Chain A
Amino acid sequence: MQTLTPQRLRELDLKATDVREGIIRALLAAGSGHSAGSLDMADIFTALYGHVMRHRPEEPTWPQRDRLLLSCGHIAPVRYSAMANFGYFPVDELLTLRKFGTRLQGHPERVTLPSVETTSGPLGEGLAQGVGMAQGAKMDGADYRVYVVTSDAEHQCGLHWEAMMTAAKFKLDNLLCIIDRNFIQIDGSTEEIMPLEPLADKYRAFNWEVFECDGHDIAAFVATVERAHAVKDKPQVIIAKTIPGKGVSYMEGDYTWHGRPPNAEQAKNALAELAATRERILAHV
């Protein structure tokens, strides 16, 4: 990974704002979809596509690419918007989200859009597939890395824990799991619905190397990834603390935005806020 200069960091912060705008426009056009998690992962997806990952937007299935799996497929808008904003396809295509004939299915599908690496939506399955890819890299002596983005509520699924055990057994140090720790799910607070804490201790008990960071601080996230990459013989997890709906004030922290899109008026307000955020970043020297 290259050094993250202040200039580059500012470019990424601007890009994250573009990604959020793309999410709002896509969700408005679709008329359905998941707002809160998509928005809160915009900074991390920007960091992954813009700085962390080895990939070629012009050659999406380049064999040496790092693999990024989105386990919680319902926040597809953030991945699609990041892909569009980093050159995988035109930004205007985001407006086809969830519409008949689109490559941007409501939940990502590998057959229609191969660079999403796998079909996801049924929860708790991404890490297990990431384990397979990371083990495949080990068997072939390949040096690509595998990144798996999961939600916190997905940890209520048993398969995720099977994958945690397996990753540790095979010493998959080429595997990094990133948890969107936003503390919400459709029915409310994760800690009320099925308490996950102490989450970090649970990963440690499963023989993982655990890191925690602010999921909205791109510099901190990149620095944490660098520390994770230095770990040998163990899979790593970054528990990224995020604010659901981040970047759109009326959505922030409100679980009811988990699974619904903004209406026209709400989208207009959201885009105005994001425009103001962009101005603030540009004004800050």
Chain B
Amino acid sequence: MSNTQTLDRAAQAMNLIDYRDTANLKQLPTRNGFGEGLLEAAQANRNVIGICADLSESTRFEALKNTLPEQYLEIGVAEQMLVAMAGGLAAVGKIPWIASYAMFNPGRSWEQVRTIMALNQSNVKIAGAHAGVSVGPDGATHQAIEDIAIMRVIPHMFVVVPCDSVQTKKATLALSQTFGPTYLRFAREKSAIITSEATPFEIGKAQIFREGADVAIVACGILVYNALIAADKLSRERGIECRVVNNHTVKPMDEAAILDAAKTCGAVVTVEEHQVHGGMGSRVAEILSAQHPTPIEFIGVDDRFGQSGDPVELIEHYGMGSAAIEAAVLRAHARKRP
């Protein structure tokens, strides 16, 4: 689909790519952005190191491994060791990035994450790869859809879920320069590049990617693209104008941006590739129920496990496609108080 109209002012201010131009939209996995950002961060600061648990290719550690081998350690399939060793390295001044599939780190290593990273207020950075059902054929064992919940509940933790590969690179660089325990979540499959080099990124600052005052869609990760597509279609077909918020920092969440979206629109839909229980949307609900009660609809996995399949097929099956988002917007819109 091509579109002759320019993007709205909010999208222009964010220097977004025209996400409606699906034929020409570039697709890259968010993990690529991590690999590029890590190499750049490590080149700028020799204390930035990578520790790998036998997944150097799929977590995109390879660029660091090949370019700066003295800043790279391989410890094998041992995710608890990954966190604990990184804690020791951070204690003596290193800035360790540790990467595995999100299902295993922080999935397997949660107590070490809590004690050694967070209670210690340690400068360890977790890169959680292969998050979400969009991992695809590997199936439920490898599809982390509970990781946001178990990380956002830990004090001091930064939790960041960038929307595309370009933003993942910026997030990796920004988090490398920000002291504190960190969880950066990204996905396996190719996904649409919707931000450009010129799009700003600041940890803890949500971004308005589309302006609108009827319903606010608050999304994170690769589903921000689906949210934008849904908003565009609702505008064209039904005249419903959605504000789309790229809520990339789940913790500490940009409460002002959430409240402003709720106050402006009067109804909210949250969108994430994660269990509805305990995820990003749950935090939005906590903020709004305490400060500005607002009708909310939640897009995410509804208390189920994933399964093998094609990534797009799975996103649709678990109710996270753009059509499901449109339906949720209509429900939220209907619930708005007069």
Contact = CB atoms under 8 A, between A and B. Distances in A.
B84 A163 contact: yes
B78 interface: yes
A142 B92 CA distance: 10
B115 A121 contact: yes
A166 B91 CA distance: 18
Contact of A118 (B78, B80, B120): B120
Interface string B105-133: 00000011001100111000000000000
Contacts of A58: none
Interface in A115-141: 117-122, 125, 128-137, 139-140
Nearest to A132: B88
Given A159-B80, A159-B81, A136 B92 contact: yes
B88 A129 contact: yes
Contacts of B94: 136, 139
A8 B84 CA distance: 37
Contacts of B111: 122
Contact of B119 (A111, A129, A169): A111
Contacts of A111: 119-121
A110 interface: yes
Interface string A36-69: 0000000000000000000000000000000100
A140 B49 CA distance: 12
Nearest to A117: B91
Nearest to B81: A162
Contact of B85 (A67, A109, A128, A137): A128
B259 interface: no
Given A140-B92, A162-B80, A166-B78, A118 B85 contact: no
B281 interface: no
Nearest to A170: B73
Contact of B84 (A117, A136, A159): A159
B221 interface: no
Nearest to A69: B88
B93 interface: yes
B81 A137 contact: no
Contact of A119 (B73, B76, B90, B116): B116
Contacts of B76: 165
Nearest to A131: B85
A135 B91 contact: no
B80 A128 contact: yes
A125 B120 contact: no
Contact of B120 (A110, A128, A142, A159): A110
Nearest to A166: B75
Contacts of A101: none
Nearest to B46: A139
Nearest to B92: A136
B115 A125 contact: yes
B112 to A, nearest CB: 6
A14 B86 CA distance: 39
A158 interface: yes
Nearest to B51: A132
B70 interface: yes
B80 A129 contact: no
Interface in B45-91: 49, 70, 73, 75-76, 78, 80-81, 84-91
A3 to B, nearest CB: 30
A131 B88 contact: yes
Contacts of A165: 76, 78
Contacts of B92: 67, 132-133, 136-137, 140, 142
A67 B93 CA distance: 13
Interface of B: 49, 70, 73, 75-76, 78, 80-81, 84-94, 96, 111-112, 115-116, 119-121
7 contacts: A109-B119, A111-B119, A117-B91, A133-B92, A159-B112, A163-B84, A169-B75
Given A118-B87, A131-B84, 19 more contacts: A67-B92, A109-B119, A118-B91, A119-B116, A125-B80, A128-B80, A128-B81, A132-B84, A132-B89, A133-B88, A136-B89, A140-B93, A158-B80, A159-B112, A162-B80, A162-B81, A163-B84, A163-B85, A166-B78
The 5 closest A-B pairs by CB, nearest first: A132-B88, A128-B84, A136-B92, A129-B88, A162-B81
